Amino acid sequence: MSSRANPKVVVLMGGPSREREVSLSSGRECATALRSEGFDVHEVDAGQDVAQKLRDLAPDVVFNALHGRWGEDGCVQGILEWLHIPYTHSGVLASALAMDKQRSKEVYRRNGLPIVDSILAPKGDVCARHMMAPPYVVKPNAEGSSVGVYLVMDGANTPPQLDDAMPDIVMVEAFAKGRELTTTVLGDRALGVTEIITDGWYDYDAKYAPGGSRHVIPAQLPAEITAACLDYAVRAHDALGCKGMSRTDFRWDDTRGLDGLVLLETNTQPGMTPTSLAPEQAANVGMSFGSLCRWLVEDASCDR
């Protein structure tokens, strides 16, 4: 980052993904926080002219507040590397790898991290027949924020009928029952464990609508499970090659002890909205939202 007194920071937000509205909310919150921290902040809605806008603005740092495809899958990271502009969060390879759920699970498996079985299958086949015994989940292999998730429960007589927005190849994953847990990693440190409580499925609305879910932090768990979540999240962060901040999601079947804990996925661009989990975990360890955003900017670099 530039050593000048008032570094110029561009907050990339919006973009064309299915998570555009969440990204706009994240971006606005982060821009406001960074201004309060003394940065010269410019907000950019990332479109096809994003490279030209970045050349014209010539920022010292890009704060990446994009979510979903193109923003957290290595694409915009490649543009930033090409332009040699320091940026926050993970680099090209880690972003692409974490966004691909099946490949990231292969990395987890090789590193001894617990996961549930899953396969990739053509959408037509998934609509025609059960690809595995229910209960199971069908979701895009490369989206976040629970976009396009179908839950097929025990006793379902017919397979799910996927909407036209679903990709041609989807992930079919054994349903992991139990409690929803998540852990944020900042640098080399796991911040804590949150339990997410909802009335039903933890879908897009539950994540982002006010009152859609309740967050318990620190989660009320046996010490062994808390320690495992902290350990597994750091190991997942490191195995994928993440930088800056990531958040790893878990399910825990509390009838099975440690054997009931599984990793679901790692998010390299955790949400930064008023209801987001990572800022709550940072606050729980004494880091304000502004301080968190400042830390990410000061951690920014190229060749990530």
Catalytic residue among 267, 280, 299, 304: 267
And the tokens for 60? 């010292």
Alpha carbons 189 and 230: distance in angstroms, whole number: 9
19 is catalytic: yes
154: CB partners within 8 A, 6+ apart: 134, 135
User: What was the pLDDT predicted at 3?
Assistant: 58
Alpha carbons 263 and 171: distance in angstroms, whole number: 15
37 is catalytic: no
21 is catalytic: no
- Provide mean pLDDT across the span 295-299: 98
143 is catalytic: no
253 is catalytic: no
- Provide mean pLDDT across the span 95-117: 96
**Burial call 22-52: b when 16+ CB within 10 Å, e when fewer:** bbbbbbbbbbbbbeebebebebbbbeeebee
- Provide mean pLDDT across the span 91-95: 98
pLDDT over threshold 60, residue 203: no
39: CB partners within 8 A, 6+ apart: 6, 7, 8, 9, 294, 297
Catalytic residue among 69, 208, 213, 304: 208
pLDDT over threshold 90, residue 222: yes
- The identity of residue 53, as a single letter, is K
271 is catalytic: yes
189 is catalytic: no
Sorting pLDDT into bands at 50, 70 and 90, what band is 211? low
Catalytic residue among 14, 15, 19, 68: 19
Alpha carbons 3 and 125: distance in angstroms, whole number: 56
Catalytic residue among 27, 74, 192, 271: 271
Catalytic residue among 104, 145, 213, 276: 145
Catalytic residue among 180, 249, 280, 299: 249
Name the 3-class secondary structure at 284. Answer: helix
> The pTM is what?
0.91
Catalytic residue among 60, 143, 265, 280: 265
Per DSSP, what are the bridge partners of residue 182? 194, 249
Catalytic residue among 247, 251, 294, 304: 247
Alpha carbons 111 and 114: distance in angstroms, whole number: 9
Name the 3-class secondary structure at 149. Answer: coil
% of the chain exceeding 70 in pLDDT: 93
247 is catalytic: yes
Please choose, from the candidates 162, 107, 116, the residue with its C-alpha nearest in 3D space to the C-alpha of residue 139: 162
Q: Are 242 and 185 in contact (CB under 8 A)?
A: yes
